[in-house]
Every structure is written in C-alpha cells, then in structure tokens.
Chain A
C-alpha cells in the first residue's frame, strides 16, 4: 500500500473538500462532509483498490487518515 496513493484515493471520496487540504494528519471524522455514505465509499474504495476490509472497529478507533492507513497496512 502506497501512503500517498491511499491519501489521494481517500480524498477523492469527498465532493466539497479541497483534496490539497487533506493530509495523513487530518481527523477525517471531523470533516463537515464526513457521513455514513462517505464512510461506505471509503470502505468500497479500499476493498476495490487493496482487497482489504475496513471494519467498524477501524472506523471507530482510527482518528486520522494516517492511523487508518497504518491499521490497514499492518494487515496481510
């Protein structure tokens, strides 16, 4: 998993957020546009691009995009 590619794909799921304003330190659940719909798009994106499953626990426990990346990247 490439961290920058992950960040870019993550940012693509938003319509109103400026992708350049998103970094691995962004607390994604604090973004105004974050919703269950965007969460499902991120889940689908990770499934499609990386063949990995984001769980409810991943979304609850990861605060930043970097933390979410680390959780997924540590899985085979």
Chain B
C-alpha cells in the first residue's frame, strides 16, 4: 500500500470558473496533473472543448455558461456534480482613472469579478453541492492590487478588495461544514489579459514595473501550483487567509 501525499488531488472533483484561458486554464491543467478531476466553466465553449481534449475526458469536463447572468449560475449549479472544491478565476480588468468612471463600467466589472462569485457560491452551498466535512476547499483568485492603490486600477482593485473581504466571511460561515475558503493574491502574471493592459501603457512603464519584481513577473503556472496546495488536504488547517504571490514585489525593499 502506498501512502498518498496530502498534496495530491486524487479523489477530488474541482469546479474552475474562467477555465478557458489564462490562470483558470492553467489551474485546470494543474488539477489534472495532481490527480484530480476538473469541470471548467466559461463563456467560450470552443476553448473549453480544447481544454477537455487536452486533459482527457476521464479527467476533465466543461459547462458552457455566462456567469454574469443568473441563468448561467443556475446552469452551472444544476449541471455540476458534487464537488470537493472550487476555484473562482473568472475575472476582467479595465484601467480607468477615477474621474472617468461611470456606473456602467463599475457594474460590468463588479458583476463578473464579485457579484457572480458570491451568487455562484450562494447557490452551490444552498444546493449542497460542496461536500462537507472532508476539507473541501474554495480558492478565490483575488489580486495583490487589493493590498495597495495602483493608479487607474480602481474598477479592478475595488472588485478584488470586495472578493478578499467576502472570502473571510464565507470562510467563517462555511467552517461549520469544514469547508475552507482562501484567496490567492497574485501580482502581475503574464496572461492575455495582462498583455492587453500592457499594450496601452508605454514600454518604459512596463519595463520599469517589471524591474520592481525581484523574481520577475509571475506565470499562470505559479498561481496554479499555489491553487493546488490550497485545494489539497496539505492546507487543511488554513482558512480565511490569503496567499500573496508577487515575486517579492511588495515586501522586499532595497
């Protein structure tokens, strides 16, 4: 008989939102590589289908849904089997200075980054889709942005601050069922979403920012590996907390 490492996800079924690209997609891969099963959800079924093909149908499945709509949340909640964990990696960002912010932009970002996260978890808990008393784990992909105050990032930073705060409340409520809730707060991670933002900033601004990361910018895999730890029983004593992954950017000073 071999002893299973507590870092393994064997026997665990995890739901991942934002699974079609970036950090979400990397997390799907890492879950499968760690022995778990993954159900990915996102709006773009073609990309989700690619993910399932890559990981294999015995390891992966997908539910096409727009989580910004109540119908999308209902669809996911109804279709997903009992799960041992969830990673909320769906998210969008837009850089807008304060004086240009309008209700519509705020609602668009808060809707997918925050409201949908809360509403999806509310339904999953209500319908008892998250297995209790087995250290099931919810991981919210927040951002180190919510610890600081980067110019023009209010839309995104506000939504991630709300997410991180909500994570602590949910951790407390769900602790009765031994369901854990933690957040990961990454710094700049090289994804298509980051490239889109970098494109409108000058090369010098981006280079200057990069230089301030002692270990450089992160990769989606860096975040995915931390997510695997938080999903696994190796972190079974951890809840209501946040893991900052920023290559030393905000804690190591010259």
Q: Which residues in A have some Cβ–Cβ distance to B below 8 Å?
A: 29, 36-37, 39-41, 43-45, 47-48, 54-56, 59-60
Contact = CB atoms under 8 A, between A and B. Distances in A.
B202 A41 contact: no
Nearest to B204: A36
A40 B201 CA distance: 8
B100 A39 contact: no
18 contacts: A29-B202, A36-B151, A36-B152, A36-B201, A36-B202, A37-B151, A37-B152, A39-B200, A40-B97, A40-B152, A41-B99, A43-B200, A44-B100, A55-B200, A56-B201, A59-B200, A59-B202, A60-B202
Closest 6 CB pairs of A and B: A56-B199, A44-B100, A36-B205, A40-B152, A36-B201, A56-B200
A59 B202 CA distance: 8
Given A37-B151, A37-B152, A44 B202 contact: no
Contacts of B152: 36-37, 40
Most chain B CB neighbours (cut-off 10 Å) among A39, A40, A45, A54: A40
B96 interface: yes
B118 interface: no
B95 interface: yes
Interface in B88-145: 95-97, 99-100
B200 A44 contact: no
A17 B118 CA distance: 45
Nearest to B199: A56
A53 to B, nearest CB: 9
Interface in B186-241: 198-203, 205
A50 to B, nearest CB: 13
A55 B200 CA distance: 6
Contacts of A40: 95-97, 152, 200
Nearest to B200: A56
Contacts of A59: 200, 202
A45 B100 contact: yes
Contacts of B199: 55-56
Given A37-B151, A41-B99, A41-B100, 13 more contacts: A36-B151, A36-B152, A36-B202, A36-B205, A37-B152, A40-B95, A43-B200, A44-B96, A44-B100, A48-B100, A56-B198, A59-B200, A60-B203
B97 A54 contact: no
Nearest to B201: A36
Contacts of A48: 100
Contacts of B97: 37, 40-41, 44
Contact of B201 (A39, A41, A44, A45): A39
A40 B199 CA distance: 12
A63 to B, nearest CB: 13
B85 to A, nearest CB: 37
A56 B198 CA distance: 8
